[in-house]
Structure 1
């Protein structure tokens, strides 16, 4: 599978880090959000995707 359209996220206790991977697997559109700004991880993911233009995702890896 191409990495185009893949969301990667590291959601911790303080910060949530998001990026999309390009065709080479390199992160792009990196954003760091405060987890206290959102009621849960779904809302944080939705906010990130809204900010970067809601790309069509093929896969996601969330830690």
Structure 2
């Protein structure tokens, strides 16, 4: 019932544009499919490094 509401549909549509491409890029182009550490703090560090790599690649391409 909640998923069929217009407001919820709008949020999910926007999420596909904002969030999903970044994780798709991590998986497809950088081969990032699993974390290699355990613990919240270590996982936060690892995803931070992975997202930094994505941003650096974007920056390098724009040149």
Give me the TM-score of the superposition, normalised by structure 2: 0.37
Point out which structure has higher relative CO (alpha carbons under 8 A, 6+ apart).
Answer: 1
Larger Rg, first or second structure (1 or 2) = 2
**TM-score normalised to the size of structure 1?**
0.37
